[in-house]
Structure formats: C-alpha cells, structure tokens
Structure 1
Amino acid sequence: MANIPMRPPKLPGYDFVQMLGSGATATVYLYNQRMPARPVAVKVSAKTLDPRAAALFNREANFMAKLSSHPYILPVYGAGVTSDGHGYIVIEYAPGGTYNSIMKDRSMTCEQVLDLGIKLSSALFTAHRSNIIHHDIKPSNILITSKGLPVLGDFGISTDVYDRTETGFSPPWAPPEVLQHLTNGSEAADIYSLAATLYAMFVGCSPFQHEYHPRSQSELISLIVNQPLPRLNRPDVPVDVEAVLRRALNKDPDQRYYSALEFARAMQRAQFAYFGHATPVTVEGMPAYPKDIERRRRATDQRDQITHSSRRWVKPVGITVGILAAITAAAQIFAFVVVPRMDSATGSDTKQVATPRTKDDDNNRNNQDDVITDTANAQIPSPENLNGTYAADGSSVTFTWTNPDPQSGDTYAWAIVQGSNTDQSAQTVTTSDPTVTVNAQEGSQTCIQVSIVRKNRQMSVSPAIACASKPQE
C-alpha cells in the first residue's frame, strides 16, 4: 500500500496551489476550483483505499455532507477517488487557521468564549440530533473561515451514535470515561470535550495542564481521571460562567448537561445576565433564545420605546414606566429560572400541578426549547401525579410522581424551582426512584420540576412541575 502521496493528485476541475499540512492518515492541499471559482481544501487519504480505509473515508465524507448546511460546521463540496486509489474530500478552505493558535497566542474574553461556546454547541447539537458523535473536539479541530466564523471540522473518527467501534481520541480533551475505556464516546463525552476546549480559551492550555503541569501523557490521564478540575483563576470571569463550564466538565457523565442544546442555553443565560445580550442558538426548529431571555428582551425593547417617546407623553409614560419597572424587576428575579404554573395557594399542605401539554396553559412550554423535540424524543412523556408533602416539622418536603410509560433504564432529572436561584442549570440531579426528599425552601412553598430521562439520555419534552405549600400553623 502506498503512503502519503509524493505529489498532489490531479483532480478534474481543480488546480493545485500548495500543501497545507499532513498527518498520519491524510494530507490536506489547497486547490483552486474552476467552477465555481473558489479556493478549496482537499483532504487526501495517506493510503490507498482498501475496503476498511474506504469505509472510514466514505464515512467522514457522508457525515460532513449530512451536516454541511449548518453555519458552524465545515462544509463539504465533494468527494471521490484519485486515479491511483487514494480517497479525497473537497471541503471549504478555512484561511483563518484554527483555535489552537488563538489558545496559544492570547486568551479570550469571557464574552468571546460564551459567544464561541453557543455557536459550537449549536453545531454539536445538530450533529447529535443526526446521531453523529464527533469524538475529537479540540481547539485544532475548530477552524476559522474567511468570514471569521468558527466551524467544527475533522469528522475523521466520528461515528454513528449506535456504533460501538473503538475510535481514536485526544487525551488532553477526552473525559475520564473515555480515557478509562468505559465507553467509546457519547453525546456527554462530546459535551465534555467542547467544555474543555472553551476552558482552554481562558487559560491557554487544556484544563488539567493548567496549574498541574503534568510531565507526561500518562500523568495527564491520571490527573483527568483522579484529580479535581483546577479553578480558572480569572477574576474577569463571573463565578456563574465558571460554574457552567464546571458542570459540563463533571467527571460523572450523568451530571453533565443532558444535551449540547442545554449547554448552549446555560451559556446564553449567563451571557445575557452579565453582558446584556445573548448569541442566538442556530438549530433548525429551535427558538434562537430560551423563553425567559425572550421575555426580558421584549421588556427591554418596550422600555426603550417608552424612553424614546417620553418627551411627548410625560404623564402616560410615567404610569407605563412604573408598570414596566415592576415587570422588569420580576424578570430580574427569574433571570435563569422559568417557573411555569406555580401554584401560590396556601390553604393546603399539598398541591398538585397538572402535567404539561394542557391546552389552556401556555406557560408550561417555557423550557421546551431546552430539550430535544425531534420525532424520536416527542414520544417521551412527562411524569404524572407529581405531588409534594411537607414533613411534620416543616424542614423537608417529599415529592412523588409516576411514570406513564416506564422503560428499562429510565431515570429522572429533577431540580428545585426557586425564584431567587440564578444558576438553575447547576442544580439538576438525577435519581432512579420516582420520589425525592428535599430541604424546604424559604417562603410559603417549595417547588420542583421533574423530567423522565431515557437510557439514550433523551428527556421529556416538558418537565412536570409542582409546588407544595407549607402548612399553616
């Protein structure tokens, strides 16, 4: 079998310009495509394509073609086999280099990292929704297009989500379960690798090279598996932003975000809270912003309109601004939390809230855009009969619920719903039992939300939410 081609292949309709780089499995060349006239990168396999190599190369081409319409995934223009039997893929030329250079040359601001993270999470969720696991997200696999946009590339070791074939990985960016060979990779592993990449944009190296300074790869792997994640130690990065990354980098994959979309939503909320705006999510069929941010954006727009017209309508505007101030204050309290259908009655010690999808209540859909809503996931129901009862001493509340369609491997994700909580996403907990006892919250009631989580990590489209009211003394 031939190794890396000594000369660039002659491809009909393309003119060779220069070599861009080479690796163990492929060489990348710059060509000019004649029609349409544009520069393109051509990835040529290092070896001639025996059946196994052909299958791997075709898989990468098919995966990239399937995702090419996404603005933050490197587009593929074509693929084929050279006259001497080497496979090639024609992809967009990204002249801006990779984020590996940015990581080494300069640190990024918090706002820049959140913007990057939301864009790449959108791309990753799109891949996952197509049942594609990337396996090798890292700074050098995030390219920069001629327009300055980040794009996720190099799907060379990607697999179908159901494929259990052993693939390669890059240890500095891989999660503990992959390094220990407990899994070949998963959506949760990709989320970890993306979070590790974002962390590196703050500190200039992979997370466990930061502060620990390992001297070998085996030492680095041991640190990732056994030692706590180092702090960023960046005073300009808010603690809530670091908390978002730390959750995505949890050693336990079940404690990470359940989807790349949920990860993106957490970053959007942090971005909006600290910088006053949010990068939109770019996922087909999904809202650009979560409902709580959308409401606050509308409130801000209304306030700006009122301010603009205040010169002419002083008295009416004064009344309206007073109302708007109350709305804005309420929105600030609910900055990160959506509390649909909270029952504020206090006449009973137990309150049941109807499960989602009732026609006469739209508020229960506030969190639907944070979960997968494709055809497969649409069948996952919400928990039913969610009730909470205070303990006799009032110190705790026990919630119970039922699963209307129990399946093997089902678990439940629950979280306290609390108006003053500014980091709701960091408090999601999983349990295998349809009951949980929580500490009673301050105030007249304690509320939780619960979702069913299937073995494949897909969740209920909407959580069930219930509030237990504290017994009157």
Structure 2
Amino acid sequence: MSRRLPSTPPNLPGFEFVRVLGSGGFADVFLYEQNMPRRLVAVKVLLAGVVNDDTRQMFQAEANLMAQLSSHPSILTVYQASVAADGRPYLVMEYCSATIGQRYRATQLPIAEVLSIGVRVSSAVETAHQQGVLHRDIKPSNILTTAFGHPVLSDFGIAATLGQVESSDTVGLSIPWSAPEVLHDEVSGTVASEVWSLGATVYSLLAGRSPFEITGGDNGTAALMARIAKAKVPPTGRDDVPPNLEAVLARAMSRDPGARQASALEFIRDLQSVEAELGLPQTPIEVVVDDWALVTTIDDDERTRVSTAPSVSLRGSARRRRGPAAARTHAGSIATQSRQRETGSTSSSGVTQRVPRLAWGVSIVAVLLLALSGAGVWAVVQGTRSIPVVSNVQGTADGTTVTFTWADPGLQTGDVYIVSIDGTPSPVQRDGTYSLEVLDRERVCASVVVSRDGKAGQASAERCVDVEGSG
C-alpha cells in the first residue's frame, strides 16, 4: 500500500512554513520558522479527515501531558498548542533534527551511548509514571535527538492515565516493542508493560533490530506476535555486549510481568550497574524524589530552610530550563519574600535588609557543620549516604558446587549486590546467597559489594573456598 501524501501545511500567524518533516496515521509534522523569538520549530498538525471529538480530545490530552512533563530534560518540549484557521489542531514543539530510529539500523551504536540513552529515556518514563501517566508507545523512533545530541522522548499521543487503562478504548500500538499482555488485549498498558518496552527499545539499539525480528525471516504481524508471546529473548548477537546486560534485558522482557524489574527506576539501576561493571561514566538519574534534604537547619528569624544537596544525582541536563526541583526552590523563595513582607523586614526604600540575618544564618550553619564534623557525619552534610558494607562472607563447597552467603548489612529499597568471583563481577542480585558450579579451578574467591543507584560501595573482604573434585 502506497504512503499518503502529506496534507497542506496550515497558515499559522507568526510562523513561516519551511518543509515537511514526516507523516503519521493521525497527523503530519512540518518544519516552521517562528518569527518571535526566531527559531526553528516542529509543528504537529492533526489531519482534517480524522478531526472529531475523540481525536480532538486525544490531541488536547497529548498537548497537556507533554506541557506538564516537558520540563524534564529527556522529554520533548511543547511550546504552545492551538487550532489553525482551517480547524485543524496543532502543537508547536522543539525541533529535533534526527531520531534514534534513523541510526540504530544503519550503524552499530556504542554500548556506552546505548546505556546512556536507556538511563535517560527510562528516567523520562519513570517521571511520567510518578505523574500518573503511561506513554504506551515507547520505541526507538519516538526517541529524538536534540541539536546537542541529547535524547528526548516524544509522542505521548496514545498516553493514558494510570488506573484508567483497564477501561480505555483500543489504541494504536507498535507490535515489535509491545509486551505480550498488551498484544493479547489482557491490558492496554501498565508499568510492567512499559518496562518491557524499555527493555525492547534498549535491545533494539544494541542489536540493530527489534528483539523478535529475524533477519531475512518472516517478520509479519502474526509471526512477530507468536514469537513475542513465547518471550524467549534471543541474544543481541554482539560480542561486546556483556552477559550482565543480556540478563538485564531478558529480565525486562520476561513473559511474566511480575518477573520484570518492578519499575523504570529499577531498570535504570540495572543499567547503571552495567555501566559500573564496564568502567563507564555514570549516567545520572533524572528523576525527582521527595527526600531532597538530608540535613535541614531553620533560621528562626528568617524562617528560611537551609538544606544540603540530595544524596543521589537526580539533576537534569544544563541545556534545559528550570525543572521541578528548581521550581520548588523558586516557590520557597517566593514564600520567603511573602513572609518578609508580612513581618515588615524591608528598608524604607523597599529593599529587604538581609545582610545581618544572612550572616547570622551562615554562622548557625557553620557551627552546625563543625558539630556534625566532630560527630563524624561530615559525609552526610556533603550530601552522601553511607552505602552499607557486607561483612563476614561465608563459603562452602559441596562437590563442585560452591555457595557463598552473607548477612543483610542494611539494604534499602532498590539496593543490589554485585558479587565478584576471582575479580570478575557477576549479574546483580538481591539475595544474600550466591552459588556457582566450578569445574576448572581448585580454589574460588568471592567478594560482595552493595550498589546503590548505580554507585558501588566498599567491597567486603574476600572469602576463598577450596573445591574438591574439580579440575
């Protein structure tokens, strides 16, 4: 079936049409130049033939969702939304010159880049989930690249609110990146199905093909759905992909939703663990959390909260405008100014007299920090949490099976263990037991380290076990 021709670009006041960018089932995307401020923008225009109450509502929902989420550094920015003179709704969005979908099939992407993209896009998905929103169409072609090379997630056109998906109508989906339960209409979308799509997307970027696609084979709809239903994830076929990463992706695409990572955030941590294993720079998590302040002092005079930085790197890229954390800080500043007006703490010229009080506040903080330093918790003030250290690792051998065990040192939600056997890290795990079959060595040594948010703590003392009957 031939592709349709794009629709006529609408006449938009303040914008000049440049060229067609792409066409979809419900909309066309055009490149315009905005006159004030002068910049190139992508304009998504709903097709006249599909404009009805349902599609108009869906389009409006997309505009609202993306506007709410686009302060995130890895979500495409929406500048404005309106209706053209010919009655077609449109969105004005950040222009991105390329998609990841245009690259991964043409050239092999480096593992470091794929892991970084995976962490950033998963951060965007986790942020949407925390706002109660499912994307429901996560795939490589919906990951765009900004002029600065930053990946951003786009197209929330079929997004749904968490908790409402069970009663939602049937929507379009992309089969190669859709979970088995979605393809078989068991659900129209859940957090677990989004984790599946994230795993399938990262897999695709590594392999140059979707997970269940067979090069030169039958990749029609029925054949793909049948293979996805079995959920036997084949290897990526790349020699440079470590077994741990293959295992992370296979877990994300488990047939049983309960066997997958419990959230996009947990998937992020697994990817970060692979980065740590490969000695790659840590890609920061871009997810806002509530427990920003580890140590807080209050200046009773100013009533201004003075807090340390968060323990986990959750900041966004510098290329973006102020995110939610900064917005909260700004809100706090406004509240402080309001309190100052209420208490009359301004000079006759209207300028707030802050210098003496600020100096007093700084003195309080300085004294507190000195006290904390004397108490041995200076690291907390610096915004770092102490990662627990595993102690007293025990090892036993039963024939050629060696088992190492250790006590829980005080894990938090999301923490994982990384067991190194003779210096080689094994896949991350969450149990205090690790067993392996040894056939070629007479002695096996293991150490265990706790990884939190992709950062490894101090390794345990190494425990060695002699193996009888091996060799």
Tell me the TM-score normalised to structure 2 length: 0.63
Q: Say yes or no: does 1:168 pair with 2:172.
A: yes
Q: How does 1:385-400 map to 2 (within 5 A)?
A: none
The Cα shift of 1:173 comes to 0.8
The Cα shift of 1:200 comes to 1.1
Match of 2:212 in 1: 208
Give the whole-Å Cα distance in 2 for the aligned partners of 1:104 and 1:276.
Answer: 24
Q: Say yes or no: does 1:197 pair with 2:201.
A: yes
Counterpart contact for 1:5–1:46, Cα < 8 Å: no
Match of 1:257 in 2: 261
Q: How does 1:125-136 map to 2 (within 5 A)?
A: 125-136=126-137
Match of 2:152 in 1: 151
Aligned partner of residue 81 in structure 2, secondary structure: strand
The Cα shift of 1:343 comes to 8.6
Match of 2:78 in 1: 76
Give the whole-Å Cα distance in 2 for the aligned partners of 1:440 and 1:270.
Answer: 19
Match of 1:105 in 2: 106
Task: Give the AA of the match of 2:255.
Answer: K
The Cα shift of 1:425 comes to 4.3
Q: Say yes or no: does 1:245 pair with 2:246.
A: no
Match of 1:382 in 2: none
Task: Give the AA of the match of 1:243.
Answer: A
Distance 1:53 1:278, change over 3 A: same
Distance 1:425 1:184, change over 3 A: farther
Match of 1:93 in 2: 95
Q: Say yes or no: does 1:226 pair with 2:271.
A: no
Aligned partner of residue 29 in structure 1, secondary structure: strand
Aligned partner of residue 118 in structure 1, secondary structure: helix
Give the whole-Å Cα distance in 2 for the aligned partners of 1:55 and 1:4.
Answer: 25
The Cα shift of 1:9 comes to 1.1
Q: How does 1:42-441 map to 2 (within 5 A)?
A: 42-47=43-48, 49-95=51-97, 97-164=98-165, 165=168, 166-210=170-214, 213-226=217-230, 228-285=232-289, 288=312, 364=410, 367-368=412-413, 370=414, 420=420, 422=425, 425=428
RMSD: 3.2
Give the whole-Å Cα distance in 2 for the aligned partners of 1:109 and 1:5.
Answer: 35
Counterpart contact for 1:128–1:187, Cα < 8 Å: yes
Task: Give the AA of the match of 1:205.
Answer: R
Match of 1:8 in 2: 9
The Cα shift of 1:215 comes to 3.9
Give the whole-Å Cα distance in 2 for the aligned partners of 1:440 and 1:199.
Answer: 27
Give the whole-Å Cα distance in 2 for the aligned partners of 1:439 and 1:35.
Answer: 62
Percent identity over the alignment is 37
Counterpart contact for 1:4–1:45, Cα < 8 Å: no
Task: Give the AA of the match of 1:247.
Answer: R
Aligned partner of residue 103 in structure 1, secondary structure: coil
The Cα shift of 1:84 comes to 1.9
Q: C-alpha offsets along residues 351-375 of structure 1, whole Å, 9 cap, x if unaligned?
A: 998xxxxxxxxx84x635x49xxxx
Counterpart contact for 1:135–1:157, Cα < 8 Å: yes
Q: C-alpha offsets along residues 162-189 of structure 1, whole Å, 9 cap, x if unaligned?
A: 2221322111111111111111011111
Counterpart contact for 2:192–2:257, Cα < 8 Å: yes
The Cα shift of 1:8 comes to 1.3
Counterpart contact for 1:4–1:26, Cα < 8 Å: no
Distance 1:67 1:249, change over 3 A: same
Counterpart contact for 2:231–2:254, Cα < 8 Å: no
Which of 1 and 2 has greater Rg? 2
Give the whole-Å Cα distance in 2 for the aligned partners of 1:352 and 1:277.
Answer: 30
Give the whole-Å Cα distance in 2 for the aligned partners of 1:342 and 1:79.
Answer: 58
Counterpart contact for 1:281–1:287, Cα < 8 Å: no
Counterpart contact for 1:247–1:426, Cα < 8 Å: no
The Cα shift of 1:231 comes to 1.2
Counterpart contact for 1:30–1:39, Cα < 8 Å: yes
Give the whole-Å Cα distance in 2 for the aligned partners of 1:441 and 1:21.
Answer: 53
Distance 1:109 1:66, change over 3 A: same
Structure 2: 5+ residue stretches without partners: 290-309, 315-386, 395-405, 437-443, 451-471
The Cα shift of 1:64 comes to 0.5
Give the whole-Å Cα distance in 1 for the aligned partners of 2:34 and 2:258.
Answer: 46
Task: Give the AA of the match of 1:45.
Answer: L
Give the whole-Å Cα distance in 1 for the aligned partners of 2:57 and 2:225.
Answer: 31
Task: Give the AA of the match of 2:241.
Answer: V
Counterpart contact for 1:30–1:41, Cα < 8 Å: yes
Tell me the TM-score normalised to structure 1 length: 0.63
Aligned partner of residue 247 in structure 2, secondary structure: helix
Distance 1:199 1:35, change over 3 A: same
Aligned partner of residue 58 in structure 2, secondary structure: helix
Distance 1:418 1:76, change over 3 A: closer
The Cα shift of 1:423 comes to 5.0
